[in-house]
Copies of this chain bind each other. A is one copy, B any other.
Amino acid sequence: MTLIKSWVTSANDADHPFPLNNLPYGVFSIGDDEPRCGVAIGDMILDMPAAQDAGLLGFGDAFDVPYWNDLMDMGPVAWTTLRARLTDLLAEGSKDQTTATPFLVPQSVATLHMPLAVSEYTDFYAGMQHAKNMGAILRGSPDLPANWLHIPVGYNGRASSVVVSGTDIHRPNGQMKAPDADMPSFGPTKRLDIELELGAIVGTGCDMGTPITVDQADEMIFGYVLLNDWSARDIQGWEYQPLGPFQGKAFGTTISPWIVTAEALSPFRAPTPVREKQLLPYLNSTKDGLYDIELEVLMQPAGAETATSLSKTNYNRMYYSASEQLCHHAVGGCGMSSGDLLGSGTISGPTPDEYGSLMEKSWAGREPFKLDTGETRSFIEDGDTLTLRGAARGDGYTIAFGDCTTTILPAHKFPV
């Protein structure tokens, strides 16, 4: 596939994140107006309820709400129909250019909001290098857990803590215990970390008690966002046995503001790696489930003029795909809902410049790393701004996600 040219000319730059090939879905507001659905095209946003009201879309009331769940719930045929309609509308030579022009607003004046109402949030652990690194750091051995090559290991997280890029997060308080201490203590985490992930958004659900195949799961996935699964390593380390992460992961999960659809990403599908052990048949699929998406982590301390690139890797490094994860999630009869969010698990490549968490990058603080400012870091300091970036590179065009950015504020005093 090559660039599809738009009459919104800013969209035709080969490096622009939002060409006509992308058409990501977000929610925006201008000034004090109510948030509403919008589609990014070049430097502009198409105001979806306004375009719908003008008769340009033909999509009923799916855009009367400030989230994309109603469209998601309409299913894959509707998704394809809308995308085709938007492509026609915004393509060079469109007969509707004059009518549509008033419904474009500059991204520079818009505030972005959560693009979906998250029903439930599940986080996985599907990166092999990350699993080996965490084993080596936490349990003294890079050997994978016994189930890891058979199960897309996951755990349930908190939907109430998922926020959009640009939302500041306070350093969390919590309970932790130093290895040499007799008693635990309570206070701000000293090991605040990121996890570089891709979030898959379930578009259509499945009923409780109706298992699905991987291919069915693939068709249920509406799109993807960048996802930063904030982690407090000291809180997590003390709490996680025997029932898994809880408060060490509950204070925030940040997603990028634009949902990049599975359809936009389809030219970039990539296979999962050769299996070290054959998967059980229920995890078989006929499609490549990963995507070739370049990813980057950046850190900018308070007062610094530029951010330091900490890591560059690719989503095609993962061992399990989102459709395999979704199938495994539902296979025992767990109902899945439109708006469910699945975190891929931390994406780390084989070398430290590809690690997707600071825990790995600083090897649990034993090997602090340098920023471009000359400062060193093992974990995140108050005032640091962390950014995730992601883009698939096509022939003369780019499908990017928009930055996933968060500034960390000091911990609340407790009791408040």
Contacts and interface: CB of A to CB of B under 8 A. Distances in A.
Given A247-B334, A412-B333, A239 B282 contact: no
B246 A156 contact: yes
A280 B184 contact: yes
Contacts of A119: 160
Interface stretch (A28-36, A209-217, A367-375): A209-217
A204 interface: no
A250 B329 CA distance: 8
A170 B213 CA distance: 18
A147 B239 contact: yes
Interface stretch (A47-55, A61-69, A172-180): A172-180
B175 A151 contact: yes
Given A238-B147, A244-B242, A244-B243, A331 B158 contact: no
Contact of A173 (B157, B160, B242, B332): B332
Interface residues of A, number: 70
A95 interface: no
B208 A280 contact: no
Nearest to A412: B211
A135 B281 CA distance: 33
A250 B416 contact: no
B156 A157 contact: yes
B172 A332 contact: yes
A402 interface: no
Nearest to A340: B160
A284 to B, nearest CB: 10
A199 interface: no
A6 B161 CA distance: 45
A223 interface: no
A246 B416 contact: no
A241 interface: yes
Contact of A153 (B155, B157, B239, B328): B239
B210 A416 contact: yes
Given A120-B158, A156-B156, A208-B163, A332 B244 contact: no
12 contacts: A120-B158, A158-B334, A160-B205, A160-B208, A161-B208, A161-B333, A169-B209, A175-B280, A175-B328, A208-B252, A247-B334, A250-B334
